Amino acid sequence: MNKVVDSAQAALADIQDGAVVAIAGFGVAHRFATTLIMALRDKGTKNLTIVANSLGDPGATRGQILAENKQVKKVIVAFSVRPGTPTASEQQINEGTLEVELVPQGILVERCRAGGAGLAAFYSPTSVGTDLVAGRELREFDGKQYVLEKAIHLDYALLRGYRADRLGNVQFRGGSQNFNPAFGKAARIAIVEVDEIVEPGVIPPELVDLPGIFVERVMLTKETMDGKAYRRPERRPSDKPRFYNDKPAVTRQQIAKNAAKLVREHTYVNLGVGIPTMVSNYLKGRDVILHAENGVLGYGEMVTEEKDIDPDVYNAAGQFVALQPGASFFDSVTSFEMARGGHIDTVILGAYEVDQTASVANWSTADAKRGGIGGAMDLLSGKGDLIIVMEHSDSKGRPKLRKKCTYPLTGQGCVSYIVTDLAVMRWDGKRFVLDAVAPGFTADEIIAMTEMELVAGPNVKNME
C-alpha cells in the first residue's frame, strides 16, 4: 500500500465544486497545509464550504486566500472576523454572499470527532444561555441544560504533519496536533503534507498520532514556513499605561501581574489570548500548571530569543513559550475534554464587557455572525474560577463594566474576579467588591467611573 502522491495538484485532482473542506492549523502561521491550500486556490474550485478555526488575515496562506479568490460560499469557524483586521471574507459576510456558521472551538472539533466516529449528534453544555442556542434543541440531564450538536462530515481535510510513512501513518510535533486528528477522521479523504516521508517502521508505533487508516494521501510540503517570522505586533505597547482623570493607570503587563496573584497554588490554569497570555510571565516558581487549548499542558513564560524558540511550542495566542518539566502535548479534542470535564481550576480571559450579574461578553463585535468565539464558551462550561482581565473602559472611553452586557453573552453568572488597569474586583455571590485600586486613585473615584454596581471592600489596597 502506497499513499504517497508526488504533487499537490495530484492530491487535489478530484475535488469538485461544492465540496466541504477542512483546513487544520492554529494561530497565525503554525503548521498549515500551505502547499495544498495554494494548489486549491490555483485549481479554482468554487462554492466551497470551509471548516476551520478561522480563515486568517489578509493574504494569509490559509482559507482567506480562497475567500479572496471568491471560491467560498460558507464557513464553519470559531472566528469569522477579528476587530481591526478587514478581510475579503468580512466584506463578503457584510454583502451577504458568504454564509457563516459560528461554532465554539471545542465544539467544532468535537462535532468533527463525532462525524469521524459514526455518531449523528451529542448534547453539550457549551453555549447554553447564549445567542447560539436560538432555535435549537435543549434538553435537561440531572438538572442541567444541554444543547444538541450535530456531527460534521467532511469531503476533504487538508492537514499538516511533521512526518509520515507511505502507509499514511502521521506524526505531529509539539503543540501542532490541534485540529488535525479530528478533521482527518471526519473526512472522506484526508490529505496530509509533511516535512518528511519515511519508510514504514521508522516512526515508532507509539508516536503515530494519526493512523494511516484515516489518511488517503500523503505528500511532501513545498512551502516550508518558519513560524518564527509570524508574530502579531502589539496594538499598543503592553508597558504603556492609559490615563484616567489625567492620571496613569497600571499597564497591561501590570494587569497580568495582579491577575497572577489571584491564581491559587496546586492548580491547572488556562490563559486566553491577549493580556491573559502575559500572566505566564508572573508564575515562575509557582506550583501552577498552564493549559493551552491548542494542545499543551505544562508550559511556562513566553520566549523571545531566537535561539530559544521552537516553532511547534506555542500558546493559544500563537506566542512561543518555554516548556516546563513534565509537559505534554495532545490534540484539540483532548484539550477541550480537560475544559468541559472540569479538570481546569482557573480560566483567565479578556472581555468586551462584564455586567453586575457576573455575566461576560467576549466574542462578538456586532452580531452573532461576526465575531470570534474561540474556546471561551467551552472553557466556561467547566467548574473553575474565571478571572477577567481587561482595561476599565474601551478605546473610546465607553464603560466595559456594565449594569447589563450590551454584547452577546459568552457566559452567564460565571465571573469570579475582574482585574482592570484601575482595580481588582471580587464577586461575593451578590455583587462585585472592590479589593484594590491603581496607585494614585481612590475607591470612590473607581466606583464613580464604573457603571455596574460596585462597593468598596473593608480593606482596599493598592495594586502592584
**pLDDT tens figures, 342-359:** 999 999 999 999 999 999
> Does the pLDDT value for residue 235 go beyond 60?
no
268-317 tens-digit pLDDT: 999 998 999 999 999 999 999 999 999 999 999 989 888 888 989 999 88
Query: Which residue matches cell numbers 452573532?
Result: 368
159-173 tens-digit pLDDT: 999 999 999 999 999
Q: According to the model, what pLDDT value does residue 234 have?
A: 52
pTM above 0.85, yes or no: yes
Q: Supply the CATH classification number for the domain 243-462.
A: 3.40.1080.10
Q: Which CATH number fits domain 8-226: 3.40.1080.10, 3.30.230.30, 3.90.1010.10, 3.30.590.20?
A: 3.40.1080.10
Which three three-digit cell numbers place residue 377? 464558551
Rounded to an integer, what distance in angstroms lies between the CA atom of residue 376 and that of residue 179? 17
What length is written for the chain? 464
Fold match, 8-226 / 243-462: yes
Active site positions, annotated: 293
Share of residues in the chain with pLDDT > 70 (%): 95
Contact (Cβ atoms closer than 8 angstroms) between residue 51 and residue 22:
yes
Of the candidates 109, 108, 148, 105, which has an alpha carbon nearest to the alpha carbon of residue 125? 148
Query: Which residue matches cell numbers 432555535?
Result: 135
Q: According to the model, what pLDDT value does residue 381 have?
A: 85
Domain ranges in the chain are 8-226, 243-462
Q: According to the model, what pLDDT value does residue 405 have?
A: 95
